[in-house]
Every structure is written in C-alpha cells, then in structure tokens.
Amino acid sequence: MDPSPIGTPKILKIGSRKYAVGLRWVLADTANQNLRAQALQEIRDTGGNADLYVLRDAQPGREVRQFGLGARADGLVSGAVAAAAAAANNLPGTWLGAFATDGGWWIVQVRDDAIVADGDAFYEHEREAIERFDRERRLDWTAIYAPSAWNIEGARELSIIDLLQDQREPRLRLANLSGTYLKVGLLLGLIAVGSGLGYTFWLDYQDRLAQEAAERERLEREARLRAALLARQQAQPIVITAPWIEQPQHRLWFEHCQAALATIPFQIPGYQAAGRRCESRSAHATFRRADGIIGWAERYLEGRLTRGQRLTFSVDQTSVEIVTPLPPRPARGEEGIHDDATVRRFLIEHAHFSGARLQITQTRVDPPPRPPGVPEYRPDGTPFEMPLPPWGAFQITLNVDRLGNWPTLLANLPGFVPAHMSETPEGRWIIQGDVYVRR
C-alpha cells in the first residue's frame, strides 16, 4: 500500500517552539497582490476543513509567493511555525530532504525556492517515509538530505535542529471566515465609544514597528547564513570531477571494436562494401546494393550473423547495415594525464614517422558552474568566480593508410577518450577522439 502523499499533519516541538508539518501548499496568483485574500478564498473554494493558513510573500532575492493551509481538526494550532516555510527560507534552492523527528519522519520538497504542493509530509512509520523518499529522489534535485542510516547514495545528513534553528517565522494564523466582518464592526464600535480612532492608529503604528523589526532580523539572519555558507565553501577545496574518470576504459574499446568488425562478413552477393566503423557502444558495417534484389542479403546472411548482431535496411532499400553491440566496459577511474606540449609532440612525431595525416583542434574548457548553495557574490560584493579546471582538451582526427600500431599507442595514452573509428571503402582508417591534458 502506497503511503498518503501528504502523510499526517503534526505539531513538532523542538526546544520550546512548536512547528507545524503536513500543510498543503499553493502557489499564489501573481496578478493578485493580496496574498492573504488568496489564502482565505482558497479555503472558501475548496470547502474542506482547513481553518489555518500561513503566508510566504516575496522577499528581496526571492520571488516566490505561496501560502500553506491546515486544520485545527488535524491537531495543528494557530501560532505554530510552518516548518516547511522556515526550512525553505533557511535553505533556498532545489532540494529534497528527509529528517528524523521525535515520533516520525518528515519529508520536504523545495523546487526553485518554492515548497512543492504536497512536499510537506510527515510519516509515523519509517517504511512509509522511505518509500515516499525513494519515489521522489528519482526526480532531478540539486541536493538531497537523508538520515545516514538509510544509506542513500549521494545524500548528506542534516539535523532538523540545524535546519530550523532560530526560525520563528512564518506562523499559522486562524482563518475565521464567518465572523470576521461582524467582529471587525463590533471592535470598531467599541473603539469609537471607548477611546476613539487614535487607539486604532496607535495599534497600526505598533504593528508596523513590529513588522519592520522582524523584517530587519530576517534580512540580517539571511545575510549571516550566506556569509557562513560562503566561508565554509571557501575553506573547503572545491573538487571538480575530471570528465574522463567516468568514461569506459578506452583500451578495451579498441580490442572490442576490432574483434566485432572481424565477425562481420566482408562481402554480400549483389552488394558492395561501403565502409566499416565503431561508435561508443556498437560496430557497424555498411553495404550498398549493386544489383539483384533486397532478399539476397537476408538469405545470404541467414545463419552467418552472430548472436546479438542485427540487420537494418535504409528507407529506399539501397543499403544494408550490420550492427554488432560492443560488450560493456568498466569506468577507467583515476588516471594521471600528461602536459599539453608533451602529448602534442608525441602525436605529431608518430604521425610524421607513420605517414598519417593528423588534425588537432583545440577544445574550449569553461569554468564549472557554481556548486549548489554558493552565493553569486562574496561578502565584499565581488562576484564569486569558479577557477578554471587544471586540465585542457583538444580533439584529434587521424587519417591513416592502415591501422598499424595506432590502436596500441592511443590505448596507452592517458586522457584519451575515443569517439569514432572507421574504415573507408578504399581501406583507409579514420580515428577521432578527445585528449585531456594538464594545463
């Protein structure tokens, strides 16, 4: 049985403060600037038992406007801090988190600073929480947080106390739809009789002062958080994954390619050979029909194709291609690379002595994107720029009369990532690929 998408609404007590989880979140209508009115209208339109709401209005640096809905009948209380809103304010971006709490597990989904509609869920049973988390983590997230005991690959552990520490806003409010106007009228009447309109102005003034103080405190807290995060990022070296590490082993690629091409017939009655080639995961041999009928190729190749090989015909049936899948190869892993000048000299000298035509094209290597959570600017206002990786790259194209020992030379060249090897109808071979080198 799948768990409920929003779990069970719950009041969590962390320290001396109450936090509400399990709310339903709605993105605001950008055309309507009155966020509170939208929340109350949503409660009227849905006709459910919701009688509590919380607002997340746009703030400097964040354009998200949304509101959350809950019900006292589910055990929620007015004045409790909306935990998902506090977490999203404290940790902006796109992330998925699971947090162990007293009595259950809380799952939060935040995408582009906005809480997902059903992304505020509390589960009393760990199995249901893990099932929900496993289903959601298949989507694209910039960061994932989960308890270390779950052993989720790529996830980091974050304490709910650290996530919600010192977060006192925003709070749930009571939506009294039926008696709102009556109470306002009675209150105004009492104020007019008792102390006049001056008291109203004084209350508004005090409320504005309180709101401004809360806003200053929030901005200062966000500035401290950004500064602390940037300091941590700068204190820790930024690891940039080398692009060739996760590539399959290129030594085996040359072996598998030549072995696969050796299993393909060199001729087909009524067809002329039009070239052979190897791509990343398959070997191909193409034949063009010279005379006869298309069925000749099928009858001739019946029983001659090895297991896994398949036959494809062009749309106009003038050519036929035999495709052979290459065996899977393990990733090459860590591999030291040579400096740029040494590799170029090595390739140019071997091309010269073997009579090969060698073309080298420089490849542009840009700085990597900023890691998730790193601010765009430093505390002093200067832009935060990622350094260039310690490697460069160029593309090579080899055109040789015969393969000779080129597969062996390239298979032993660190940082070489082959892309294509083909034989022309005239018997010449072309090898293409990228070479990564130290700057």
pLDDT tens-digit series, residues 137-191: 888 888 999 998 888 888 888 888 888 877 788 899 988 765 444 454 555 555 5
Final residue of a domain: which of 272, 290, 325?
Answer: 325
Q: Is the pLDDT of residue 34 over 80?
A: yes
**172 or 317, which is more confident?**
172
157 and 84 housed in the same domain: yes
76 and 33 housed in the same domain: yes
Q: CA 408, 414, 420, 424 torsion: positive or negative?
A: negative
7-21, 178-192, 322-336, 347-361 — which one is most confidently predicted on average? 347-361
The b-or-e profile of 138-158 (16+ CB within 10 A means b, else e) is: eeebebbbbbeebebeebeeb
Domain that holds residue 348: 340-438
Q: Which tokens go with 384?
A: 């935060």
pLDDT in tens, 85-110: 999 888 888 999 999 888 889 999 99
218 and 364 housed in the same domain: no
Cα-Cα end-to-end distance for the chain: 56
230 and 317 housed in the same domain: no
**Position 235 confidence tier, pLDDT thresholds 50, 70, 90:** very low
Q: Are 71 and 9 in contact (CB under 8 A)?
A: yes
Cβ neighbors of 257 (< 8 A, separation 6 or more) are 278, 283, 326, 421
Final residue of a domain: which of 273, 296, 325?
Answer: 325
Q: Is the pLDDT of residue 434 over 60?
A: yes
Q: Are 290 and 271 in contact (CB under 8 A)?
A: yes
Q: What is the pTM of this model?
A: 0.44
Question: Does residue 4 fall inside a structural domain?
Answer: no
Question: Does residue 223 fall inside a structural domain?
Answer: yes
Cα separation, 199 vs 116, in Å, equals 42
Domains in the chain, number: 4
98 and 225 housed in the same domain: no
What is the identity of the amino acid at 353? F
Q: Is the pLDDT of residue 3 over 50?
A: no
Q: Are 253 and 401 in contact (CB under 8 A)?
A: no
pLDDT in tens, 293-312: 777 788 888 878 888 888 88
Q: Read off the pLDDT of each residue in 399-423 and give the average, rounded to a whole number.
A: 88
171 and 295 housed in the same domain: no
Question: Does residue 281 fall inside a structural domain?
Answer: yes
**Local structure of 105: helix, strand or coil:** strand
Integer CA distances (angstroms), 43 to 40, 75, 384, 431, in order: 5, 18, 44, 66
382 and 298 housed in the same domain: no
Burial class (CB in 10 A: 0-12, 13-18, 19+), 376: exposed
Final residue of a domain: which of 127, 148, 177?
Answer: 177
88 and 172 housed in the same domain: yes
114 and 30 housed in the same domain: yes
Question: Does residue 5 fall inside a structural domain?
Answer: no
User: Please, which residues bridge with residue 313 across strands?
Assistant: 320
111 and 157 housed in the same domain: yes
Question: Does residue 34 fall inside a structural domain?
Answer: yes
Q: Are 96 and 133 in contact (CB under 8 A)?
A: yes
Question: Does residue 330 fall inside a structural domain?
Answer: no
Q: Is the pLDDT of residue 436 over 60?
A: yes
Question: Does residue 243 fall inside a structural domain?
Answer: no
* Maximal C-alpha separation, the chain: 109
Question: Does residue 148 fall inside a structural domain?
Answer: yes
Q: For the domain that residue 303 is a member of, what is the CATH number? A: 3.30.1360
pLDDT value of position 197: 58
33 and 108 housed in the same domain: yes
**Other Cβ atoms closer than 10 A to 97:** 24
> pLDDT above 70 covers what percent of the chain?
84
Cα separation, 266 vs 323, in Å, equals 14
302 and 387 housed in the same domain: no
